[in-house]
Amino acid sequence: MDILQKITNDKRIEVNLRKQLIPIKQLEQSVLFERDTISLAKKLKASNTGIIAEHKRRSPSKLVINHNLNVFDVAKGYENAGVCGMSVLTDGKYFGGSLEDLLIARASCHLPLLRKEFIIDPYQIIEAKAYGADVILLIAAILTNAEIKQFSELAKSLNLDVLLEVHNEAELHKSIMPSLDMLGVNNRNLKTFEVSLDTSKQLSNLIPEDFVKVSESGISNIQAIKQLQPYGYKGFLIGENFMKTNNAGESAMQFIEKLK
């Protein structure tokens, strides 16, 4: 069983438990449920740098990345650095994140927030909205075409942007639909954990112009972004590069300065 399958199996158990603890009606009464969302897709289209910076404490491939930085400082730092959006890992078991991280990030900055999660149930989309997210991530590798349609349409009805992540051509072809805003190409092979920017390059021509193109994983230097911009990529998700340092915001600021 690969890591994605393992995470997904655990996620089903977790979500079933959460549903029993907090019913949808309660989520819909959250103060944040009524807030106007900020479109990440629009921000990326208007940007020359396109950085989506992540808050991530650990990962299955790297184990501990950084347990010392607090979300408040990271969110404030990213906003001051001028990133386009912030990705917040909310998976606890494998990434050390939580929905509380999303709440704190929401209270700390005015950036579009992406709930980075393994979404396998509509409940998690309602949850994302209730905890202050502006964008949800859907992962083509763990969803059917019907689920992608159902989940993305639900997200759009809540005014959430949708970033769909693909790893290969087959996933891309099964997934393209009007209810998506951004198509993200993950450069990491989930079976081997190897990373190659060639994945983004090869899939770029197959992504229709209607969608904002985002490249994810393995983007740790300016050269990687400069290589991908001619392929039409407007967004670059940077997961570990800033979090590995003692000051994620400062690190993001220096990176963006060099990129301009």
Catalytic residue among 127, 165, 171, 240: 165
28 as an active site residue: the answer is no
Of 11, 43, 56, 234, the active-site residue reads: 56
Place of tokens 């549903």: 19
Active site residue 61: no
Phi then psi dihedrals of residue 214, to 5 deg:
-125, 135
- Residue of 152, 186, 187, 251 with catalytic role: 186
Which one from 11, 66, 87, 116 is the annotated catalytic residue?
Answer: 116
Active site residue 189: no
Q: Annotated catalytic, 56?
A: yes
The CB density around residue 51, as the number of other CB atoms within 10 Å, is: 25
Does the annotation count 216 as an active-site position? yes
CB 117 within 8 A of CB 155: no
Q: Which one from 108, 187, 217, 251 is the annotated catalytic residue?
A: 217
> DSSP characters for the chain?
--HHHHHHHHHHHHHHHHHHHS-HHHHHTSGGGGSPP--HHHHHHT-SS-EEEEE-SEETTTEES-SS--HHHHHHHHHHHT-SEEEEE--STTT---HHHHHHHHHH--S-EEEE----SHHHHHHHHHTT-SEEEEEGGGS-HHHHHHHHHHHHHTT-EEEEEESSHHHHHHH--TT-SEEEEE-B-TTT--B-THHHHHHHTTS-TTSEEEEESS--SHHHHHHHGGGTEEEEEE-STTTTSS-HHHHHHHHHHHH-
DSSP lists the bridge partners of residue 166 as 185
| Enzyme catalytic residues | 54, 56, 116, 165, 186, 216-217
